[in-house]
Amino acid sequence: MAPDARQNFQRNAQLWNQMSPEQRNLMRQRETMRRQIITREADAAVRDSGLQLNAQERARFESRYVQERRKVEQSLRQQVETERQKEIPALIQQLRKEFQLDEPGKSPAKPAPSQKSGR
């Protein structure tokens, strides 16, 4: 196993061990649903391909579909993350300007002395 994959596995194992039984069950349910969706989509891909496959070929097709789908999803995640990183500096600048415009109208951060002395 590659070092980064091993590190990721260890981190996930630690997170899993820290989860409550309810959280673990929820994660299992989500994974089951995800696999069911992928299985349905793999079945649809076989059907849409128009290929007439025996059971062994169908299993190979579905396996390859899942592998390639994983690659596509990883690539899309990387693209989204790259775009996010490009957009964040502009977002921060925009928010900085918005909040700087709001500052002059704000009341002072220090409470007035009369508020404290009234106790």
Predicted confidence at residue 72, as pLDDT, reads 95
pLDDT of 105 reads 59
**79-107: per-residue pLDDT in tens?**
999 999 999 999 999 999 988 877 665 55
Q: CA–CA separation, 95 vs 76, rounded Å?
A: 27
pLDDT reported for residue 118:
46
The confidence score (pLDDT) of residue 106 equals 59
Q: Give me the pLDDT at residue 30, please.
A: 95
List the one residue out of 52, 72, 111 whose CA is nearest residue 61: 52
pLDDT at 115: 47
Closest CA to 46 of 32, 57, 35: 57
Report how far apart the first and last C-alpha atoms of the chain are (Å, whole number): 66
Distance CA 78, CA 73 (A): 9
pLDDT at 4: 85
Are the beta carbons of 77 and 84 closer than 8 angstroms?
Answer: no
At 34 the pLDDT is 92
Query: With the C-alpha atoms ordered 13, 18, 21, 26, is the resulting torsion angle positive or negative?
Result: negative
Q: Looking at residue 103, what is its pLDDT?
A: 67
**Per-residue confidence (pLDDT) for residue 20, from 0 to 100:** 94
Low-confidence ranges of the chain (pLDDT < 50): 108-119
